[in-house]
């Protein structure tokens, strides 16, 4: 009887240890497993930051985990990129950004590629970004023709502030090439840094999207001379497009995505994908994305990865046109 009791006890102990071991493995594979740090290579207050915070707040509510947003633009965003690229591939260190990252790949400013990251989800639908050309509200230029005519007569006289080797820098280069003009290009930093330069009269031109800037046009602090798309922006319905002005549109695809270090497990990526799918139906997020002039409908990881790599290839092609 004693021997039987010992065997039963041993069997129960073994079974308990096996269950405990299985639970430990599950806990290790679960995502999120503690605080999640999300790097955003943009300053606070812009559309990149706002989208990241909306999404991470929603993800926190669903998972119960704490999502810490870190805005880091040091080293022309490369510090954020490298921190994520070299992090443990456990899904606890992620990044939210957009096609501006592919601009830096294409320019060679950041000597890596999307192949060295795991793209784990899309946060807006891939679309052609609606950049436009903006001047101070008190500027003498009332139309795009006025500005182009002046620029042709006065090469390098007009100063354009751009974020060097980033999205608006590429847009500026394509614009100058298309219209045959030369602008004095200076490094102006991010959107929130360029705005006071333009509004204060320190530079003549900036290239912005309507998101976060349309209100300044409405208030009269800025003027948007043209939208570079083929369809007018809902945020600036009075601004003509390049197509309407008889010019070729200047369009590049862009969307916001979430990425992590290469080598994340399929289980972790599937967990993140599931949460992203859930927040894609959040009405508050959808309203916010719409207010930034973008759209978002959930896409599986494979499609998001394909879109991201197509975007990178197109940016490489665009840079080849201006060098």
The total number of structural domains in the chain stands at 2
Residue 203's CATH number: 3.40.190.10
Query: Is 10 within a domain?
Result: no
Query: Is 5 within a domain?
Result: no
Q: How far apart are CA 277 and CA 275, in angstroms?
A: 5
Same domain assignment for residues 140 and 122:
no
Same domain assignment for residues 149 and 107:
no
Q: How far apart are CA 203 and CA 220, in angstroms?
A: 17
State residue 26's pLDDT score.
38
Query: Is 96 within a domain?
Result: yes
Residues in the chain: 323
State residue 70's pLDDT score.
98
Query: Is 4 within a domain?
Result: no
Query: Is 311 within a domain?
Result: yes
Residue 203 CB partners (closer than 8 Å, separation 6+): 159, 160, 161, 186, 188, 194, 197
Q: Which of 193, 227, 261 is the last residue of a domain?
A: 227
State residue 104's pLDDT score.
87
3-class DSSP state for residue 257? strand
The DSSP line for 192-230 is HHHHHHHHTTS-SEEEE-STTTHHHHHHTSEEEEEESSS
Tell me the two tokens of residue 308: 């991201």
Q: How far apart are CA 216 and CA 159, in angstroms?
A: 20
Q: How far apart are CA 94 and CA 104, in angstroms?
A: 19
Residue 267's CATH number: 3.40.190.150
Same domain assignment for residues 110 and 159:
no
Same domain assignment for residues 149 and 110:
no
Query: Is 18 within a domain?
Result: no
- On whether the CB atoms of residues 54 and 284 are closer than 8 A, the answer is yes
Tell me the two tokens of residue 24: 């430990």
- On whether the CB atoms of residues 206 and 168 are closer than 8 A, the answer is yes
pLDDT at 228 over 60: yes
Please state, rounded to an integer, the average pLDDT across all residues of the chain: 87
Residue 108 or 175, more confident:
175
Query: Is 117 within a domain?
Result: yes
- On whether the CB atoms of residues 100 and 253 are closer than 8 A, the answer is no
pLDDT, average across residues 197-205: 96
CA distances in angstroms from 92 to 78, 127, 266, 277, listed in the order given: 19, 29, 14, 18
Same domain assignment for residues 124 and 257:
yes
Exposure on the CB side of residue 290, measured as CA atoms within 13 A: 8
Same domain assignment for residues 54 and 113:
yes
Tell me the two tokens of residue 81: 């990129």
Same domain assignment for residues 157 and 211:
yes
Same domain assignment for residues 142 and 177:
yes
Same domain assignment for residues 121 and 136:
no
Same domain assignment for residues 218 and 194:
yes
Same domain assignment for residues 114 and 156:
no
Tell me the two tokens of residue 185: 């290009």
State residue 200's pLDDT score.
95
Same domain assignment for residues 70 and 149:
no
Express each pLDDT in 116-166 by its tens digit. 999 999 998 866 667 899 999 999 999 999 999 999 999 999 999 998 767
Range with top average pLDDT, 100-109, 244-253, 254-263? 254-263
Closest CA to 251 of 230, 236, 224: 230
Question: In the 3-class helix/strand/coil scheme, how is 81-103 assigned residue by residue?
Answer: HHHHHCCCCCCCEEEEECCHHHH
Domain that holds residue 208: 132-227
Query: Is 216 within a domain?
Result: yes
3-class DSSP state for residue 271? helix
Largest CA distance in the chain: 106
pLDDT, average across residues 204-232: 92
């Amino acid at each position: 009887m004693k021997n039987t009791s010992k065997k039963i006890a041993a069997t129960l102990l073994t079974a308990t240890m096996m269950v405990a071991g299985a639970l430990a493995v599950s806990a290790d594979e679960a995502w999120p497993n503690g605080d999640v740090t999300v790097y955003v290579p943009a300053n606070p207050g812009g559309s990149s930051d706002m989208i990241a915070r909306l999404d991470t707040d929603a993800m926190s509510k669903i998972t119960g985990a704490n999502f810490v947003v870190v805005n880091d633009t040091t080293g022309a965003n490369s510090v954020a990129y490298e921190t994520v690229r070299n992090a443990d591939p456990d899904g606890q260190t992620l990044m939210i950004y957009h096609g501006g990252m592919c601009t830096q790949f294409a320019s060679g400013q950041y000597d890596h590629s999307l192949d060295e990251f795991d793209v784990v989800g899309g946060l807006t639908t891939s679309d052609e970004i609606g950049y436009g050309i903006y001047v101070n509200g008190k500027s003498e230029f009332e139309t795009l023709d006025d500005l182009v005519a002046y620029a042709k007569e006065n090469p390098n006289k007009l100063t354009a502030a751009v974020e060097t080797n980033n999205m608006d820098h590429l847009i500026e280069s394509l614009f100058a090439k298309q219209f045959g003009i030369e602008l004095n290009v200076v490094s102006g930093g991010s959107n929130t840094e360029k705005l006071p330069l333009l509004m204060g009269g320190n530079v003549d031109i900036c290239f912005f999207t309507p998101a976060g800037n349309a209100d300044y046009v409405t208030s009269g602090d800025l003027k948007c001379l043209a939208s570079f798309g083929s369809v007018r922006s809902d945020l600036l319905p009075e601004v003509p497009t390049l197509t309407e002005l008889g010019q070729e549109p200047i369009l590049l695809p862009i969307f916001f995505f979430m990425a992590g270090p290469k080598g994340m497990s399929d289980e972790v990526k599937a967990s993140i994908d599931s949460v992203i799918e859930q927040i894609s139906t959040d009405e508050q997020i959808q309203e916010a994305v719409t207010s930034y002039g973008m759209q978002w409908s959930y896409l599986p990881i494979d499609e998001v990865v394909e879109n991201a790599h197509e975007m990178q290839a197109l940016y490489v092609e665009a840079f080849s046109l201006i060098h």
